[in-house]
């Protein structure tokens, strides 16, 4: 019989280190805080100015968005790359606005602190700035803080209208997957003098029109570094070298599950990791420290 005067023994409390692990278990990067403040556009601008690297990944649903935030990702991009990695399409051209709105809403429901960017898909901003505004508004209503669009100087007036009406814009230059056929395939852009001059001119036009972020894909590291130092807005690289303000990868690529031929700029962060969450954490740590991208990931 138990002595009624003896208080019952409390069950042991599980510590974080003893908590069961899972496929999505996330070890926090060194120095990260569990009480992170929401990432704002001003915070991203400040990070760029201070030389603090921005870690961005693509996500398309709430579960992975949660895991990325736990790992310390600063920004989540709902990319039209979902056409390739989610829908099984050969290109991003058939991706619809409805699909982008759906997946943006999924990610936005999970969002606590990260800056959410959504792609305007092919054909939704080409007709006129007014049509682009109506479509961008749907992404904003779904939870996007910023929209991304591909293209050079011809998008200037669209960028101007969107920013004037309160929707921040990320301009995507270099390799633009929506028009990859016109570029004769997935080739590095801006390698010759004329190509580099064209990218620099378009970047300046778009920033002057109000673009508050630039994404450079598959351009030489020297060109990306020059633009990062001169433009005054964050420059996010994917295959654009380590001098950019930050990096982005397609989630499926950095987990080694994308299938097909792996681009040079991709590293498999799941290899050697104990969980998907740990892979995300390793990515954040290596982007922040400058360990990624390394020379072998650079053009």
Q: What is the DSSP letter of 70?
A: H
Look at phi and psi of residue 77 and say left if phi exceeds 0, alpha if psi is from -120 to 50, else beta.
beta
Distance CA 77, CA 53 (A): 16
Question: In the structure encoding, which two tokens stand for residue 252, read together?
Answer: 């499926």
- What is the 8-class DSSP label of residue 36? P
DSSP 180-218: TTTTTSS---S-SHHHHHHHHHHHHHHHHHT--EEEEES
Out of 217, 226, 243, 296, pick the active-site residue. 217
3-state secondary structure of 281: helix
> What b/e sequence results for 68-88 when a residue is b if at least 16 CB atoms lie within 10 Å of its CB, and e otherwise?
bbbbbbbbbbbbbbbbbbeee
Is 278 assigned a catalytic role? no
Which residues participate in catalysis according to the annotation? Answer: 217
């Amino acid at each position: 019989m138990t002595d009624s005067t003896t208080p019952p023994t409390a069950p042991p409390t599980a510590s974080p280190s003893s908590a069961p692990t899972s496929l999505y278990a996330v070890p926090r990067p060194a120095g990260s805080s569990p009480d992170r403040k929401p990432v704002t556009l001003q915070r991203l601008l400040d990070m760029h100015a201070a030389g603090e690297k921005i870690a961005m990944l693509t996500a398309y649903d709430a579960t992975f968005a949660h895991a990325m935030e736990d790992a310390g990702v600063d920004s989540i991009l709902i990319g039209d790359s979902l056409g390739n990695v989610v829908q099984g399409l050969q290109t991003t051209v058939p991706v619809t606005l409805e699909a982008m709105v759906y997946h943006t809403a999924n990610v936005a429901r999970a969002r606590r602190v990260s800056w959410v960017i959504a792609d305007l898909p092919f054909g939704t901003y080409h007709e006129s700035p007014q049509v682009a505004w109506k479509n961008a508004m749907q992404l904003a209503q779904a939870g996007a803080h910023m929209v991304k669009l591909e293209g050079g100087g011809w998008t200037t007036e669209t960028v101007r209208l969107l920013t004037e009406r309160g929707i921040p814009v990320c301009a995507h230059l270099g390799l633009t997957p929506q028009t990859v056929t016109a570029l004769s395939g997935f080739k590095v852009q801006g390698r010759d003098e004329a190509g580099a001059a064209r990218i620099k001119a378009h970047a300046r036009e778009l920033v002057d029109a109000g673009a508050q972020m630039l994404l450079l894909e598959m351009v030489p590291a020297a060109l990306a570094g020059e633009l990062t130092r001169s433009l005054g807005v964050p420059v996010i690289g994917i295959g654009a070298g380590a001098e950019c303000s930050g990096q982005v990868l397609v989630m499926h690529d950095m987990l080694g599950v994308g299938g097909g031929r792996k681009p040079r700029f991709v590293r498999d962060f799941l290899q050697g990791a104990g969980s998907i969450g740990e892979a995300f954490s390793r990515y954040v740590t290596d982007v922040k420290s400058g360990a990624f991208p390394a020379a072998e990931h650079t053009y």
